[in-house]
Amino acid sequence: MMYYWVSGKGWLAIERTLAGSVANVALFILLAGRLGLYAAVVGAYAGAAVTMILYWVNNRPWGFKMGATGALSVLFPALSASLFVVYDPVLKWPIPQLTLMIAFTLIMIIIKPVEREVLEDAPRFLKLILKAFA
């Protein structure tokens, strides 16, 4: 969000965050009677997903890397949580989540969504982490 204020697009960040917050609260209100406390989890996930999607739409041009990163970033957490919502899995927590997290990390290393120019501006400690994704 700070990047948008520095680049003169601060109101875009507020609009996107507000849309995510509205989605969060609306889903919580709609699902609170049926899911109880789990409605907060669903609402928070949906609000974060709406906010991320709106930021991704703003950061064009779209390419394979951008589309794959966006799709996987939304689908992998949903898949991980759905394992426990749909049925009681044989493998208990955290094995399915760790497996999906490792798979997501390996796919991101293959896709390499971070541009080389970002590495030049990143702090030294982040360069070591981001180097595998660029």
pLDDT (0 to 100) of residue 81: 67
pLDDT (0 to 100) of residue 22: 93
Contacts of 6 (CB under 8 A, 6+ apart): none
Percent pLDDT > 70 in the chain is 77
| 4, pLDDT greater than 80 | no
The predicted model gives 105-119 an average pLDDT of: 77
Residues 49, 73: contact at Cβ < 8 Å?
A: no
Helices (H), the chain: 2-6, 10-35, 38-58, 64-86, 95-111, 116-121, 124-130
pLDDT (0 to 100) of residue 67: 73
Residues 130, 114: contact at Cβ < 8 Å?
A: yes
| 62, pLDDT greater than 90 | no
pTM: 0.51
Q: Which two tokens stand for residue 23?
A: 């989605």
| 64, pLDDT greater than 90 | no
Q: Which two tokens stand for residue 119?
A: 């590495």
Amino acid residing at 133: F
Q: Which two tokens stand for residue 76?
A: 């992998």
Task: Tell me what the pLDDT averaged over the chain comes to.
Answer: 77
